[in-house]
Amino acid sequence: MSIGAFNFMPVILWTDALVFTLLAAVLVLVWLIRRQEHLRAPWRVVAQRPMAMGAALVLGVFVVIGLLDSLHYRAQLPDSPADAPQYSVEVLSVFDALADGLRVRQEKTYSAPLAMQLYAKEFVQRDGVTVRDYPRLQHGGAHLAHADERLPDIAGRALAGAAQGALAGLLIFAGLAGWQARRPQVSVGAWLAAWRGGRLGWPARTVVLMLAAMLMLGGALMQLAAGYHVFGTDKVGQDVLYISLKSIRTGLVIGTLTTLVTLPLAIGFGIAAGYFRGWVDDVIQYIYTVLNSIPGVLLIAAAVLIVQVYIESNPDIFDTAAARADIRLLALCLIMGVTSWTGLARLLRGESLKLRTLDYVEAARAFGVSHARIISRHIFPNVFHLVLIAMVLDFSGLVLAEAVLSYVGVGVDPSMYSWGNMINGARLELAREPVVWWQLGAAFAFMFTLVLAANLFADGVRDAFDPRLGGRR
């Protein structure tokens, strides 16, 4: 298969297939919601909240990066024959191709953010004399002749990138205004007046300003990254900005796939315990009480160890390092899902106990309606808001859980990019002098941004779907 002169072999990892299956399911769900007014109404409430829409934009950027990083391939070796092509064992992604400049510009070891020199002194040759000094980087600031030019160059690149981002935002805003003005009896001036006054029915000002700020920040980062290592480099000289962006996919996969495992268990056990009561309730309570009594880290560590032994015992099944790391990531999602359903199940049990005593449920049982139909028509729709709220809220917790597990050594494969591995790799460097802080800082900044955006969006979803908060809509 080829695109122009670039030959490659597509690679579909297990998590790739699940991610795009989930994307297809979300698109189908969006289509169904658009067809039903009672389903559109709460989402319309979400869309009217400035914080929720601003957070949705940030989440959208993370999701796009994660999807691009889920399109994997193996490049054809340059010296392989055309009739029998051979491919590299390295698995790359579309994001790697787009960020190739960051990926290949590797230094010798640590360098500080936006630096021109290594972070540690070495013996170098200066005018035929061996001296101990900070060597110049191969890529960071290599276009500058003198160190005095660095700060003006950084300021110029940042301003130029921000200006480009502002121009792109202005063009998008102009296109939006022109598109809206095509409606009958609506002029551009009238639309602009409604936009300034916040009378469009959706937080247009917040969305436009947030989008402009993101474009300006992205433009500045792109301009700076073209000449410097914006967040410095790690121990092996790899760009920390590239590592941070690559870690987005791992965080999203952990948060989404684990949730997919958690929801069926929590919904099935929770509703069954509350609706049927009796021995069913006793058995389910016994199960999640036992699970809660065992430290989750021990279960996860045992599962990861079993998967690791299986991978090492069957090397022929996993032909690339990416495949081995991917199956470990999938196993981590499964075991985290199996061990994290108990909280939502307890919540659904309590709500189902209350719902089964309502008059219309009692009437349905009296008329001989089956249990399955009662649960699907009366119980589940009335607890769906709890499921949706818990799903969005738990996402951020799962992202943080991956960082903690990788930090203690039972998380994702050490070869996989993740914020937890970044923190784990940086912990020993915090004790050195001078301190190597930027790897930890970058991981914290990206993780904080994702978790904050998820929580703000979750607040909007909670306010829209929780019937007890109906007056706040």
Instruction: Please give the model's pTM, rounded to 2 decimal places.
Output: 0.85
DSSP assignment of 373-413: HHIIIIIHHHHHHHHHHHHHHHHHHHHHHHHHHHHTT-SS-
pLDDT at 4: 41
Q: Where are the domains of the chain?
A: 2-104, 144-225, 244-472
Under 8 Å CB-to-CB from 346, ≥6 apart: which residues? 270, 288
Return d(Cα 9, Cα 87) in angstroms, integer. Answer: 7
Angstrom distance (rounded) from CA 97 to CA 154: 25
Please list the residues that pair with 124 across neighbouring strands.
Answer: 131
Q: Tokens standing for 425?
A: 């790799």
Q: What is the dihedral of CA 226, 232, 238, 243, to 10 degrees?
A: -90
Report residue 290 as tokens: 């036992």
Residue in 64, 87, 108, 123 with CA at minimum distance from that of residue 2: 87
pLDDT of residue 240: 92
Distance (Å, rounded) from C-alpha 283 to C-alpha 277?
A: 10
Res 3: pLDDT: 43
- In whole angstroms, give the CA distance from residue 193 to residue 172: 18
- Provide the pLDDT for residue 25: 87
- Res 471: pLDDT: 44
Q: Nearest 5°: CA angle at 472, between 469 and 473?
A: 100
- Distance of alpha carbon 358 from alpha carbon 383, whole angstroms: 14
413-447 b/e (C-beta count within 10 Å ≥ 16 → b):
beebbbbbbbbbbbeebeeeeeebebbbbbbeebb
- Residue 317 is predicted with a pLDDT of 76
CATH assignment of 244-472?
A: 1.10.3720.10
- Alpha-carbon gap, residue 245 to 103, rounded angstroms: 11
Note whether 10 and 72 are within 8 A (CB). Answer: yes
Beta-strand relationship, 2-3 and 122-126: unpaired
Question: Environment class of residue 381 by beta-carbon count within 10 Å: exposed (0-12), middle (13-18) or buried (19+)?
Answer: exposed
How confident is the prediction along the chain (473 residues), in pLDDT tens digits per residue? 444 445 788 888 889 998 898 889 889 988 888 887 777 888 888 888 888 888 889 999 999 999 999 999 988 888 777 777 788 888 889 999 998 888 888 888 888 898 888 887 777 777 677 777 778 888 888 888 888 888 999 999 999 999 999 998 888 877 777 776 666 556 666 666 666 666 666 676 778 888 888 999 999 999 999 889 999 898 888 999 999 999 999 988 988 888 888 888 889 899 888 888 888 888 988 888 888 787 777 777 787 788 878 877 877 777 777 888 888 888 888 888 888 888 888 888 888 888 888 888 888 888 888 888 888 888 887 887 788 777 777 777 777 777 777 777 777 888 888 888 888 888 777 777 778 888 888 988 998 898 888 888 888 887 777 655 554 54
Structure tokens given for 286? 């016994």
The whole-angstrom separation of Cα 164 and Cα 216 is: 7
